[in-house]
Amino acid sequence: MKLYEYLGKQLFARYGIAIPKGQMVETPGEAAEAAAEYGEAVVKSQVLTGKRGKAGGIAFVSSPDQARQEAARLLAMEIQGLPVEKLLVEEKISIDQELYLAITVDGASRSPILLVSLDGGMEVEEVPAERMLRWPVNVNLGLQPYAIREICRRLGIGGGLQKQMLELVPRLYRLFRELDAELVEINPLALCGSGLIAADAKVTIDEDALYRHKELPRITEKTALELRAEELGLAFVELGGEIAVMANGAGITMATLDMVQHYGGTPANFLDMGGGADLERTANALELLLATNPRAILINIFGGITRCDVVAEAFAQVKESRGVDLPVSFRLVGTNEEEGRAVLERMGISAFHSTEEAVRHAVEISLP
Amino acid sequence: MKLYEYLGKQLFARYGIAIPKGQMVETPGEAAEAAAEYGEAVVKSQVLTGKRGKAGGIAFVSSPDQARQEAARLLAMEIQGLPVEKLLVEEKISIDQELYLAITVDGASRSPILLVSLDGGMEVEEVPAERMLRWPVNVNLGLQPYAIREICRRLGIGGGLQKQMLELVPRLYRLFRELDAELVEINPLALCGSGLIAADAKVTIDEDALYRHKELPRITEKTALELRAEELGLAFVELGGEIAVMANGAGITMATLDMVQHYGGTPANFLDMGGGADLERTANALELLLATNPRAILINIFGGITRCDVVAEAFAQVKESRGVDLPVSFRLVGTNEEEGRAVLERMGISAFHSTEEAVRHAVEISLP
Amino acid sequence: MAIYINKSTRVLVQGITGRQGSFHTAQMLAYGTRLVGGTSPGKSGQVVEGLPVYDTVFEAMEAEPAEASILFIPAPFARDAAYEAIDAGIKLLVVITEGIPLHDALDIMDYAHREGTVVVGPNTFGLVSSGQCKIGIMPNRFYVPGPVGVVSRSGTLSYEIVGNLSDAGLGTTTVVGMGGDRVVGLGFIDVLKEFEKDPATEVVVLVGEIGGSAEEEASRFIAAHMSKPVVAYIAGKSAPPGKRMGHAGAIIEGGRGTFASKIEALHEAKVRVAELPFEVPSLVREALGNS
Amino acid sequence: MAIYINKSTRVLVQGITGRQGSFHTAQMLAYGTRLVGGTSPGKSGQVVEGLPVYDTVFEAMEAEPAEASILFIPAPFARDAAYEAIDAGIKLLVVITEGIPLHDALDIMDYAHREGTVVVGPNTFGLVSSGQCKIGIMPNRFYVPGPVGVVSRSGTLSYEIVGNLSDAGLGTTTVVGMGGDRVVGLGFIDVLKEFEKDPATEVVVLVGEIGGSAEEEASRFIAAHMSKPVVAYIAGKSAPPGKRMGHAGAIIEGGRGTFASKIEALHEAKVRVAELPFEVPSLVREALGNS
């Protein structure tokens, strides 16, 4: 779960990490009021994408009037398809040097990893690998002072800046661990005089751990249907094509989509119904599938923990209750396959044995 | 640093461990007032020894008057040589079962160790070893629920009591780690209906870690001289005999005391001046030595990090400034031995080479 | 021969009394896995599928030691269960549970590493040494002995591919599911090393997906250290960037972990890459012919 | 021969620019220890006693790797310095620092155990393999080669005893100071095991003190596993219970760790026990005669 910059900065403040004075506003009037307090100010679109600077989503202003104008402009914008609904108005800070600092999880070392660079302010992908210091963190030890001193040495950071890092980095790491973050990123981390200030904040919280963070806000980038899927505990992504696809397992669902594309079709969605779903959950998944208004439906079940008969029964139920008339391509193998096929036969559906056949058929029936 | 029961219980409360209602009082009048709130109450001497129950330091009372009387009696007592200056007045709790629970450090396993027994309420030394469950704790993991479940299984603790333990034990462990405790002990841990209540509290904090616990009170069992030694950073214990003993190193100081005793003398103190002391520190140590009003002084220096000349110079300085006239037995070997001996010779003191000779001489000169 | 597990491996089921735990206990028994018991706190003394139930792993190990354990424990309690298994001496831990918090997974891996326990998963279908021992939730019938070692990031997709192989008369030595989470225990390289050493494995099938850099790293390892031929299939060619495709690991972020970069790395390592899952058997045949 | 360290051991000094660090650097160099450098944050580029100073242990190890490190670091920072040494690959860590918080010591031991680093101390005088390598603060002159291995809980007392031995013409293989704290790395048993294996060590002197149960446990080990004769001296016979005699470990609590219980255990293990420190050499001679 990505957090807006202003929320990330609230968390930073809670952990003792310095941030610029500022406040979140939702109207040009509020923006003008806030800017009046700071004189020179910056108005920043609050959107969950990193490219807002290039997209013109950030404005520097010198007066409340200018703040009002710019806020109006920004609130009318879309950045990478995301509407701008909130702004952060902050005092302008005078920056001597920009650093990059982040902590995330490194699957390869199965550990947190600290990333530090003296090339702050630019897109992280643009920083040459040799100028980005990567330090895997032993979760048992955490980020101890010695590690920060060694990191600073490698980057040539000494004196007062090193001292600041020795204070800041452990705080950021504590936030990362205690709040179950997947990513905490400060870019740029601004050296202003002798102090380090987080000029930006990117915080992503692990959704699987949200249950133990009742205090955190709930932010979503999902569509209404994706939200509905989340409620149902299903992995669902809207893709905008013609064939509604459901399979059991993330990998096979992806592979099914790949095959749809390979044979010239367009998938309406990614829907992994997961393993071992019961009748109700399966029916819910099918309802979701219909809600994308597809031209055809492709269901690809390789029953392991999932039982073929349950999927077939659920389909029969939903088809009847909703009067579904869409063409369907069904693939059904594995646990309780015979029983499942029998149920489908009663509806006049003959399930395929191979994914390939099922996908080809689905593409055919999806064409106008 | 041992904490009084009432202070330990304050810490328990801070960590969410249930304690009886109660308050610390210092006069019979306050005791009566407190008891009035509880009806049936218990008045407990606050002394830093475990044997106060047997010594009559705990009284059960049913009325404010009785509380006043008992408080007066207790406040006049000494328990194991310790005057009773504070009392804890608590509501009497109705106990269904008494358990023993403690966490301390096990040198052998180099780890914290949890001790649990169903034989609560008695002196821990009296609990048969096979009825005391000992569970070394991996400091990396801490005390996880599985460990508590396993401990409960071994002790035959199930159901509601196990649930209570699953809540209580991690809290006690957190206190133990966060407050740098050497020992946290609840004996008895009282099962009252379905709840566990800490009926007593023994908490010892690591003195070496006190610098990072400004919030904790400072309690001492030390004499004025021992306190002075602590200020000076010296290891000092008063022993009440005739020969003031100073050596450098805890082990050699102990061995010197053993030899004093072996040859029929009585040591006035244990004073380890530590290693590498400078002139000032050594002079301070010598001042302390004189303050015990000994008949003789025994100084045993095996110079390694400690320089013999510094010790001799300090002695000369103190002898002169204080006009010390006591007989002295000096042993001096090791780093800068020649220089040290020269200094002593000027005072007419001929230092011994062996501890044995020095001790024998000290015993001789200490006899009346 | 096989890797990690074989017919003498004794296996414990943590969470044996739950719906999934009991169902798969029956399935594993049917496959021939040497299950020795299960755990479920507060249910000591019960019997599931003829197996004794214990309160704790320690209790189970006292009754009969096991080398491996499979976890059917809800996500909020999985870390504790994993710690318990490792502390009690389990040397191979198969974590089926989905949705374990990322930081809990980090903790589990750290402790397992320290104690020398091999973790498979979390969010894995498990592993199976065909004809000998299955510790997982995959359907029994496709896992027949043969010369192919399989390692996969995703479950059902690997069933599909192993099914295709067995339909084509190609059996497997061991099939290992790494799990779909961002942090998992066994990785491609660990498993590839074992397959390289296993005399019964003649060719290895690697089933990957978009996201992360595991396939790229595996490719470098293959180029440098594998003498046996490798066939790969990567899912997610059609996935849009920035969207999490079910698996926590399957997300393309900041231009990393793309399908293209993985395919390129595999080609450089001279791995035969299948465009679609059902092309795997013919590539395996080809590799077997050449080797 | 000797144990733990020898003339090829390369040693780093953490905290080399301090008063103690620089003094003992000179002393260790004079003894012949192969010191390769030292650390002191912010002082890279300085030179102490002819040795290069680095900011961090990593930097030092890049310049010249060391196997061992000795810590002269104030107590509040000692844990961090120990972590650093262990993480940078130091395999023998000698912690001179006194007054390290108990829980910090627990943390150090845990991490050292995990990474396979041997810790001597804290609050130790160090260790010395006579005539080869001294990593510690003991006076140089008594440590001359010979057949006696010494392990001691206290510093100056062991100097006294080793001094007595050398005066009596008895040299030492290795002298190990365990340290006076409640939690220390190397224990009696660890060191006894090494002495038992070391061909040059013919007799072992164990110097203990009241408090804790290390001597009792060592006695059981000696009875079961030591073929070489052991001579012991225990300090603290005259100490009153409940008082901490300087060393954190030297406190008799609740009737445990008494002088009597230690002596009894040693006698049971057929250890020759000296009543007073200067009796040690004659008991060693006796043991050498018998062995």
- For C117-144, the pLDDT digits (tens) are 999 999 999 999 999 999 999 989 899 9
CB contact under 8 A, D245 and B253: yes
Q: What is the pLDDT of residue C244?
A: 77
State how far the Cα of D264 lies from the Cα of D277, in Å rounded to an integer. 18
pLDDT in tens, A110-119: 999 999 999 9
**Which of B255, B267, B304 is nearest residue D137 as measured by Cβ atoms?**
B304
Q: Are D1 and D110 in contact (CB under 8 A)?
A: no
Q: What is the pLDDT of residue A350?
A: 93
CB contact under 8 A, B249 and D156: yes
Stretch A334-356: mean pLDDT: 92
AA identity, residue A363: V
**Which of C113, C246, C277 is nearest residue A270 as measured by Cβ atoms?**
C246
- With 70 as the cut, is the pLDDT of residue D114 above it? yes
- With 90 as the cut, is the pLDDT of residue D25 above it? yes
Kindly report the nearest CA distance between residue D96 and chain A, in angstroms.
19
A224-366 has which fold? Rossmann fold (3.40.50)
| Among B residues 192-231, those touching chain D with beta carbons less than 8 Å apart | 206, 208-209, 211-212
A242–C contact, CB cutoff 8 A: no
Kindly report the nearest CA distance between residue C61 and chain B, in angstroms.
12
Q: What is the pLDDT of residue B223?
A: 75
The three-class DSSP label of residue C73 is coil
Chain A: residue whose CA lies nearest to D87: A147
DSSP string, A27-40: SHHHHHHHHHHHSS
pLDDT category at D253 given cuts 50, 70, 90 is low
| Domain ranges within chain D, ordered by starting residue | 10-120, 138-290
Which of A279-288, C45-54, D258-267 bottoms out in mean pLDDT, i.e. has the lowest? Answer: A279-288
- With 70 as the cut, is the pLDDT of residue C249 above it? no
C32–B contact, CB cutoff 8 A: no
Q: What is the pLDDT of residue D58?
A: 98
Q: What is the pLDDT of residue D252?
A: 66
Kindly report the nearest CA distance between residue D63 and chain A, in angstroms.
14
Residue limits of CATH 3.30.470.20 in chain A? 97-212
**Which of C41, C42, C111 is nearest residue B141 as measured by Cβ atoms?**
C111
State how far the Cα of D117 lies from the Cα of D131, in Å rounded to an integer. 24
- With 90 as the cut, is the pLDDT of residue A278 above it? no
- With 90 as the cut, is the pLDDT of residue A322 above it? no
Q: What is the pLDDT of residue D255?
A: 64
State how far the Cα of D174 lies from the Cα of D197, in Å rounded to an integer. 13
CB contact under 8 A, C56 and B158: no
Kindly report the nearest CA distance between residue A145 and chain D, in angstroms.
7
Q: Are C221 and C188 in contact (CB under 8 A)?
A: yes
Task: List the structure tokens of A66.
Answer: 């200018």
pLDDT category at C254 given cuts 50, 70, 90 is low
Q: What is the pLDDT of residue D240?
A: 84
pLDDT category at D56 given cuts 50, 70, 90 is very high
Q: Which CATH number fits domain C10-120: 3.40.50.720, 3.90.950.10, 3.40.50.2000, 1.10.150.170?
A: 3.40.50.720
Residue found under tokens 């599938």: A289
Instruction: Choose the mutation target among C156, C158, C161 for the interface with A, i.e. most A CBs under 10 Å.
Output: C156
- With 80 as the cut, is the pLDDT of residue C247 above it? no
ipTM: 0.91
**Which of C103, C139, C276 is nearest residue A206 as measured by Cβ atoms?**
C103
**Which of D20, D99, D245 is nearest residue B208 as measured by Cβ atoms?**
D99
D210–B contact, CB cutoff 8 A: yes
pLDDT category at C82 given cuts 50, 70, 90 is very high
Q: What is the pLDDT of residue C257?
A: 81
CB contact under 8 A, C110 and A261: no
Which of A68-82, D33-47, D73-87 bottoms out in mean pLDDT, i.e. has the lowest? Answer: A68-82
Chain A: residue whose CA lies nearest to D44: A153
Any idea which residues of C carry the catalytic annotation? 247
State how far the Cα of C205 lies from the Cα of C191, in Å rounded to an integer. 11
D216–B contact, CB cutoff 8 A: no
Chain C: residue whose CA lies nearest to A49: C242
CB contact under 8 A, C80 and B146: yes
Which of B147-161, C169-183, D14-28, D236-250 bottoms out in mean pLDDT, i.e. has the lowest? Answer: D236-250
- Chains that contact D by 3+ CB pairs under 8 Å? A, B
Cβ contacts (< 8 Å) between B145 and chain C: which residues? 77, 80
Q: What is the pLDDT of residue C1?
A: 75
- Chains that contact C by 3+ CB pairs under 8 Å? A, B
Q: What are the residues whose beta carbons fall under 8 Å from the beta carbon of D91, sequence distance 6 or more?
A: D67, D68, D116, D117, D118
Burial (CB count <10 Å: 0-12, 13-18, 19+), residue A29: middle
Q: What is the pLDDT of residue C149?
A: 98
The CATH class for the domain spanning A21-91 reads alpha beta
State phi, psi for C215 to the nearest 5 degrees. Answer: -70, -35
- With 80 as the cut, is the pLDDT of residue C4 above it? yes
Cβ contacts (< 8 Å) between A107 and chain C: which residues? 182-184, 212-214, 249
pLDDT in tens, D203-242: 999 999 998 889 999 999 999 999 999 999 999 998 888 7
Task: Please tell me if the domain spanning C10-120 has the same topology as the one spanning C138-290.
Answer: yes
Stretch C23-39: mean pLDDT: 97
Stretch A100-104: mean pLDDT: 96
CB contact under 8 A, A146 and D59: no
Kindly report the nearest CA distance between residue B135 and chain C, in angstroms.
12
Burial (CB count <10 Å: 0-12, 13-18, 19+), residue D213: middle
Kindly report the nearest CA distance between residue B131 and chain C, in angstroms.
19
User: Cα torsion for D164, D167, D171, D174, to the nearest 10°?
Assistant: 40
Clarify whether A173 is annotated catalytic. Answer: no
Percent of chain A with pLDDT over 70: 100
- With 90 as the cut, is the pLDDT of residue A273 above it? no
Architecture of domain C138-290: 3-Layer(aba) Sandwich (3.40)
pLDDT category at C242 given cuts 50, 70, 90 is confident
- With 80 as the cut, is the pLDDT of residue A220 above it? no
Identified catalytic residue from D24, D113, D247, D267: D247
CB contact under 8 A, D56 and A146: yes
pLDDT in tens, C63-72: 999 999 999 9
- With 80 as the cut, is the pLDDT of residue D254 above it? no
Report chain A's mean pLDDT, rounded to a whole number: 92
Burial (CB count <10 Å: 0-12, 13-18, 19+), residue A224: exposed
**Which of B138, B140, B153 is nearest residue C56 as measured by Cβ atoms?**
B153
State how far the Cα of D161 lies from the Cα of B333, in Å rounded to an integer. 13
CATH 3.40.50.150 corresponds to the domain B97-212: no
| Among C residues 148-177, those touching chain A with beta carbons less than 8 Å apart | 152-160, 163
Low-confidence residues of chain B: pLDDT under 70: none
CA atoms within 13 A on the CB side of D195: 31
Chain A: residue whose CA lies nearest to D83: A146
Percent of chain A with pLDDT over 90: 72
pLDDT category at A129 given cuts 50, 70, 90 is confident
Kindly report the nearest CA distance between residue B103 and chain C, in angstroms.
20
| Among C residues 244-273, those touching chain A with beta carbons less than 8 Å apart | 244-250, 254-255
Identified catalytic residue from A4, A6, A38, A100: A100
State how far the Cα of C163 lies from the Cα of D276, in Å rounded to an integer. 80
State phi, psi for B75 to the nearest 5 degrees. Answer: -70, -10
N- to C-terminal Cα separation, chain A? 38
State how far the Cα of A199 lies from the Cα of A121, in Å rounded to an integer. 9
* Pairwise pLDDT comparison (B21 vs A334), residue with the higher score: B21
Q: Are C186 and C132 in contact (CB under 8 A)?
A: no
pLDDT category at A123 given cuts 50, 70, 90 is confident
A153–D contact, CB cutoff 8 A: yes
Q: What is the pLDDT of residue A121?
A: 84
Q: What is the pLDDT of residue B183?
A: 95
**Which residues are A331's β-sheet partners?**
A300, A352
Q: What is the pLDDT of residue A50?
A: 73
Q: What is the pLDDT of residue C28?
A: 97
